[in-house]
Amino acid sequence: MGIVNHPNWLMFAREPASHNELPRVAIFINIRLSSLRFSFRRDIINHRDILLLSFFNNGDIFYVMNVYSDSSHSAIKYPKDMDFQLRNLIIMIGDFNICDSLWDPSYNFHSSISDDLFAIADSFNLFLSFPIDQVPTRYSDNTNNSNSVLDLMFCDVILKKSTRISFILISGLLLIMCL
């Protein structure tokens, strides 16, 4: 099954190099925001599980990033190991697959991978955004495993004040819409 296209949404996803490299992240932009001229930026970050888009607003360029971190956390290690500067990243959102007491009250431990994630967010001048209602973002099929919070959003201070654009993450798909 592929990614669904809809006429009211612009869809961005990586072209698979092979059947084994199907994209695990995608971004859908509501067409009402198309005047911002979103563009896929593989020239800056070229990783299967990181999707970076740029857009223009009032003469400045801004970025949004969707991340899927697999069990080896390669999408977290990649920006940590790369030496690149990225100004004006306003949101980094994704399924980071890290259980940590910092954002999940049902989990009693701290992960060292969380420290790497916070170092990356800090390098982009982003802050962890907590939802108004603390609910799990992953519901387990197995009754022996507990539900957990794996989907996180790091944003710029500007977004904390903004009420005009809404971001929703659903199973690796980032939806960006105008309110």
Task: Tell me if 19 is assigned to some domain.
Answer: no
Residue 165 sits at the vertex; the CA angle it makes with 159 and 167, to the nearest 5 degrees, is 80
Residue whose structure tokens are 């690149």: 84
Quote the CA–CA distance of 84 and 64 in Å, as a whole number: 16
The CATH code of the domain that includes 166 is 3.60.10.10
* DSSP characters over 17-55: SSGGG--S-EEEEEGGGGGG--EE-TTT--BTTEEEEEE
In a domain, 25, yes or no: no
Q: What is the count of structural domains for the chain?
A: 1
pLDDT score for 163: 44
- Asked if residue 99 is part of any domain, the answer here is yes
Domain for residue 22, yes or no?
A: no
pLDDT of res. 179: 43
Residue 63 lies in a domain: yes
- Any domain includes 112: yes
Query: 8 in a domain, yes or no?
Result: no
Distance CA 96, CA 117 (A): 9
Question: Could you give the angle at the alpha carbon of 43 between the alpha carbons of 17 and 25, nearest 5°?
Answer: 50
How far, in Å, CA of 86 to CA of 108, rounded?
34
Q: Which domain holds residue 149?
A: 40-137+145-178
Please check whether residue 64 lies inside any domain of the structure.
Answer: yes
* Confidence (pLDDT) at 51: 92
Ordered per-residue pLDDT tens for the chain, 179 residues: 456 677 888 888 888 777 777 778 888 888 888 888 999 999 998 888 899 999 988 888 989 999 888 888 888 888 877 776 788 898 888 888 777 877 777 778 888 888 888 898 888 899 887 655 555 454 455 565 554 445 778 888 665 555 445 555 444 455 555 44
